[in-house]
Amino acid sequence: MDTTRSAPLLLAHTVLGKGQSGAPCHVHSFLINDDGKGFPNSKKLPLLVYEQSVDLKGAADPAAVFERLVVKHQWGDVWRDGVYPYHHYHSTAHEGLGVYAGTATVQFGGDDGISHKCLEQSEDFAVVGFYPRGQKVDMQYGKRGERPASDERIRALPLPDEDPLFGASGPLLMCWHPSS
């Protein structure tokens, strides 16, 4: 993963825990500041990167392992694909991406602030995408006129009730619901 960005990237903290296999899992938390131009970022909710969180060894269908897990934890609208090769963000849903094959360099934070974009990938790179149940994803491209309406939608967006991989006591809740 490439964290290339124009806005400052701050490592907020790392949460240590156990992955689905019982092996150590590291969850890294990053804040990417909004520059007030094309791509907004939540000033309160960090980007979370889970390392070694799901055991896919020996799985006949590794994507299905992610799909079953996130659906169990109140996330849905699951899809399989890659990451778009252009900057974009979502103002109506939180998005999770689970890599189940290959490798990629994904940029978080675009020319004007936060977004995500695949810079390069292996031929077999594939992810499972998912959203909290009840949230429907939109596409925003950092174009003139998207803001401030997209900012309002982001502010009104409810937080997920569960971590997509670990449920009610997962790292997402510790980082996004610190008073819980």
pLDDT grade for 12, boundaries at 50, 70 and 90: very low
Q: How many domains does the chain have?
A: 1
- Does 2 have pLDDT greater than 50? no
Give exposure, 95-129, as e/b (b: 16+ Cβ within 10 Å). Answer: ebebbbeeebebbbbbebbbbbbbeebeeebbbbb
Instruction: Give the per-residue pLDDT at 9.
Output: 30
- Does 121 have pLDDT greater than 90? yes
Instruction: Select, from the ranges 4-13, 30-39, 68-77, the one with the highest average predicted confidence (pLDDT).
Output: 68-77
pLDDT grade for 111, boundaries at 50, 70 and 90: very low
Q: Note whether residue 178 is domain-resident.
A: no
pLDDT average, residue stretch 122-141: 94
- Does 50 have pLDDT greater than 50? yes
Q: Note whether residue 87 is domain-resident.
A: yes
pTM for this entry = 0.83
Instruction: Give the per-residue pLDDT at 20.
Output: 55
pLDDT average, residue stretch 81-91: 92
pLDDT average, residue stretch 12-17: 39
Q: Note whether residue 175 is domain-resident.
A: no
Residues of the domain holding 116: 8-170
pLDDT grade for 23, boundaries at 50, 70 and 90: low
pLDDT average, residue stretch 88-104: 92
Q: Note whether residue 80 is domain-resident.
A: yes
Here the contacts of 139-145 (C-beta below 8 Å, separation 24 or greater) are: 139/88, 139/90, 140/88, 140/89, 140/90, 140/91, 141/86, 141/87, 141/88, 142/37, 142/38, 142/39, 142/87, 142/88, 142/89, 142/110, 142/111, 142/112, 142/113, 142/115, 143/38, 144/38
Instruction: Select, from the ranges 53-57, 73-77, 168-172, 173-177, the one with the highest average predicted confidence (pLDDT).
Output: 73-77
Q: Note whether residue 3 is domain-resident.
A: no
